[in-house]
Chains A and B, each alone.
Chain A
């Protein structure tokens, strides 16, 4: 295993019929973030270190260590995302459109294949059996 494990990135994009200013509030006000993402002590300050806290499951303590990296009101937000020994960065980009806002989330991670697979298995494979078809369908 080498130190230069491949970087992988996951992008999810959605057109949301709400103004960017409103989505920005949902992304950056701690109480609102808790409603859709997780309990947290986020503060909109670059360099602020915080945690997301989820319900622990066997093999995972439910804690994500994060730090605010980029903060450009109504436009760009990014934080580090460290959990289960993996480090990644979550970056949000809001772009106004005719009917609302284009929301793009990109998570870029650093991993070693065997390590991540092991942790994925510990996370609980049963939880994801329902996704098998979709995962395999994309690979085939």
Chain B
């Protein structure tokens, strides 16, 4: 596996980092301060998680005065969103629909 891809997997294998990333993806740019408030862990811990996300290019930082602002870089997810994950979700949903149809059909 390429190093870049591995960094993405490692970064997202941790539930706290995943929560931070999803939060930034949903709600846009946030300060470390605001993220700490949400994450329920200490500011140094949040900063460390952000460093790992940054290494994987999943977030970008921007200094403004005394605060650092972080934003999600969803294009870094590309190695993860491959054929398997697309079709896995797709077919499971279609199997559910097939079963529903069978229930409605005459024997």
Q: Are A36 and B100 in contact (CB under 8 A)?
A: yes
Cβ of A125 and Cβ of B74 under 8 Å apart? yes
What bracket does the count of chain B residues touching chain A fall in?
20 to 34
> Is A14 a contact partner of B95 (Cβ separation < 8 A)?
yes
CB of B77 within 8 A of CB of A125, answer yes
Residues of B contacting A140 in the complex (Cβ-Cβ under 8 angstroms): 9, 13
Please choose the segment from A40-48, A68-76, A106-114 that sits at the chain B interface, where 4 or more of its residues have CB less than 8 A away: A106-114
Expressed in whole angstroms, the minimum distance between the Cβ of A35 and any Cβ of chain B is 5
B residues neighboring A (CB under 8 Å): 9, 12-13, 15, 18, 22, 25, 74-75, 77-89, 91-92, 94-95, 97-102, 105, 107
Binding site for B on A (CB under 8 A): 8, 10, 12, 14, 16, 18-19, 22-23, 25-26, 32, 35-37, 86, 103, 105, 107, 109, 111, 113, 116-118, 120-121, 123, 125-126, 128-129, 131-133, 135-136, 139-140
